Structure 1
Amino acid sequence: MSTATLDWYGCATFRLRTPEGLTVFLDAYLDRVPDAERSGVEVDDVTEADWILVGHSHFDHLWGAERIAVRTGATVVGSYESVRILARLGVPEEQLLAVAGGERLALDATTVVRVLPSLHSCVWSSQPMPPADEVCLGELGLTLQERTAKMQALWAGLGALGDDVRAHLAAADLSERGDGGALVFVLDTSEGSVLFQDSIGCWSGVLGGESPDVAILAVAGRGNRDGEPVQGSTADFVAEQAAALGARRVVPCHHDDWLPGFSRAIDTAPIRAAVERASPGTALVDLGYADGHRLFESPLT
């Protein structure tokens, strides 16, 4: 009997296949620089997709959706900013659905996705990519202008990156206006439900109302709880979200070294330990690249 499978392609990009034959991409960032870890699948390898659900408009989530959509005819669901970018890049309007949170979409006769408003990680923080067990404090109550100034200071240091990375960033430049408003997707399939979060931030009241079987959670960056940087560690924040959701499985994402010199690999061992303490009934399942994980199958390992 067919079963739902989940393939991770690095960063926060996944392919979900349902027993009924539906193919859904969660984000679409597949191409890498030569020195990066590679999943073995790039944008030009994708020939089948029915839907692409994009969590936010940054290049490491959206770039690639325009080519996959044009090649396969897939419908892309994303923020109004993501849709604006994709329309400018030539994706037909009939393949674009703009959402902001609160929408419910039928992907086929058996799979429905609900869209939730979410938050991006605190990329402007002086600790934008801490180790998972590092405690981060402070930076509360900053205005948007203060956060923007901190972000500009961080970007000023990118000139020291290697030629390959700078060329990659130039090619992936979508001229986006920020993250476009982060989204979380909850897919209800014939076998179970899966929540997809591609940046480590949330509205706790929104997330706390969900109870998926599987939660894909971003585990890299300075966490954002209800609009303020998390006071504590990434590991404890992920564990807090896992406990609130009560999912049987948590699948981490955005934790590989997807753009060396710009990103960093995140050790998930402290996250696993924190999840075990906070939510003993939840198993953290750390996927390898493109390994066809059987999403709802027991035992939970």
Structure 2
Amino acid sequence: MAAEQTIEWFGATTFRFKTNGLTIFLDTWLERLSNIETFLTVDQVEECDYIFISHAHFDQLPDADRLAKKTGAIIIANGEAINVVREAGVPDEQLLPVASGERIPLFTKEAWEESRAAPKPDPPKPGPQFPPSPDPSKAAIAVHAYPSLHCLMPGGPGEHPEITDTATEYNGSASPYSCTVDITMGMKYGLLAMAKAPEHVRTKMPEFFQSFLKYIADDKNKFSHLDGGHMMFNFIIGDQTLLYMSHLGGYTGVLQQLQPKPDTIIMGIAGRGNIDGRPFDGSAAQCATNIVKWLGEKPKKIIWCLHDQAPIPPWHIKTEAMTKQVEAETGVRIWDLEHARVYKL
């Protein structure tokens, strides 16, 4: 049997997950914009063993570097995110880049300390001298890394709604090549370029944009315009499995073949579904229902995320249609979490 697990949600895609003596953060957007409530600061975090980053954007990666330097946590993320936090001063021994397909044992701090204190051969063995690592048999839990996909924006350029309803259907696309390249270019030459606009232009922008520009201009907040390759993580805890997928997207084959099947799924539900690199035709509710079906019959509960207050439009997501359809067609129970409250899984 798995040990008791707890989970807390701090907004967007950021969670704190505790199990088997480990404290794990799933994304780390803790200290947010001035117009969005912050539920936990880096200074308030006393311990952390591992940080998993789904991708390198401004609402996932910031605070990972400061959290790792404060607690000694190991960051597991794609190469883009790893490069950003390395440049921010996180030591290499706390960085583990992944590209999907990896199966990783996770250890408590006690297991790490025991490994580092073990006698070293004298003289050293010839060949590469790898950093000390605990025996895999002492792993507290394990995690499998898989490729996933960032969602796409609902509506065409300049047509994004202020509130997204998961019942709204979108069909077709602005271009036969609509994909996450649009997200990357929009980040670099749209949102992030606004910070370089002349001051007289910035001061005439809506107040929420000024808050956003102040945030991205603050060198404390480390992130990239490039997601770096979206990742999802399947945590194996005894005979229980938790799948963390921070966006509404993924590859059909990966989702259908994923093993072991998850008991609990954390799923981001913003935007338009991105399936196999193409915009999903239909509603977000239909897309999420398909994903749950592809993952098999095992899931018992789903936790939505990325549906609360956003820093830019769409401001939030209406989840009622998605919850109703997923529960009706799959039998899975949707679990609505309140911010910063501790829940037992």
Report the counterpart of residue 176 of structure 2 in structure 1: 141
Percentage of pairs with the same residue: 31
Say whether 1:114 aligns with 2:144. yes
Q: 1:234 is matched with which residue?
A: 284
Could you tell which deviates more after superposition, 247-256 or 153-162? 153-162
Letter in 2 for 1:113: V
* Matched residue, 2:318: 267
Per the alignment, residue 44 of structure 1 pairs with: 43
Residue-by-residue CA offset, 1:8-53 (whole Å, 9 max, x unaligned) = 01000001100x2210100011112233244x31222112100000
Are residues 1:250 and 2:284 paired?
no
Q: TM-score scaled to structure 1, two decimals? A: 0.88
Computed over aligned residues only, the root mean square deviation of the Cα atoms, in angstroms, reads 2.5
Following TM superposition, by how much is the alpha carbon of 1:242 offset from its aligned partner in structure 2, in angstroms?
1.5
TM superposition score normalised by structure 2: 0.78
Query: Could you say which residue in structure 2 is the equivalent of 1:290?
Result: 340
| Alpha-carbon contact 1:124-1:154 (below 8 Å) kept | no
Q: Secondary structure at the match of 1:49?
A: coil
Distance in structure 2 (CA, Å) of the matches to 1:43 and 1:256: 21
1:29 aligned residue: 29
Equivalent pairs counted in the alignment come to 291
Alignment partner, residue 12 of structure 1: 13
Name the structure 1 match of 2:127: none
State the match for 1:63 in structure 2.
Answer: 62
The structure 1 segments of at least 4 consecutive aligned residues displaced by more than 4 Å after TM superposition are 143-146, 156-159
- Cα 1:114–1:125, aligned 2, differ >3 Å: closer, same or farther? farther
Matching residue of 2:135: none
Cα deviation, residue 148, structure 1: 6.8
Q: Which residue of 2 aligns with 1:299?
A: none
| Contact 1:239–1:279 under 8 Å retained in 2 | yes
| Residue number in structure 1 paired with 2:216 | 169
Identify the range of structure 1 (88-97 vs 261-270) with the bigger mean alpha-carbon deviation: 261-270
Which has the greater radius of gyration?
2
1:110·1:190 contact (CA, 8 Å) conserved in 2? Answer: no
Whole-Å separation in 1 of the counterparts to 2:180 and 2:328: 38
What is aligned with 1:151?
186
Q: Distance in 2 between matches of 1:232 and 1:148?
A: 20
Shift of 1:243: 2.0
Alignment partner, residue 183 of structure 1:
231
Q: Deviations over 1:170-220 (max 9, x none)?
A: 226646251000000000013511000112210111011231000001111
Q: CA 1:190–1:27 in 2, change beyond 3 Å: closer, same or farther?
A: same
Q: Distance in 2 between matches of 1:143 and 1:264?
A: 23
Rate the CA distance shift 1:258–1:42 in 2: closer, same or farther, 3 A: farther
State the partner residue of 2:133.
Answer: none
8 A contact 1:81–1:177 mirrored in 2: no
**Partner amino acid for 2:324?**
A
- Mark the runs of 5 or more structure 2 residues left unpaired by the alignment: 108-138, 196-201
**Change over 3 Å in CA distance of 1:57–1:134 after alignment to 2:** same
What is the CA distance between 1:157 and its match in structure 2? Answer: 7.8
The answer on whether the counterparts of 1:124 and 1:148 sit within 8 Å (CA) in structure 2 is no
Cα distance 1:2–1:141, how it changes in 2: closer, same or farther (>3 A)?
Answer: same
Tell me: CA distance 1:45–1:209, structure 2 relative to 1, closer, same or farther (3 Å). Answer: same
Shift of 1:128: 5.8
User: Is the CA contact 1:11–1:253 (under 8 Å) kept in the aligned structure 2?
Assistant: yes
User: What SS does the corresponding residue of 2:80 show, helix, strand or coil?
Assistant: helix
Please report how far the alpha carbon of residue 264 of structure 1 lies from its aligned counterpart in structure 2 after TM superposition. Answer: 1.3
Gaps of 5+ in 1: 296-301
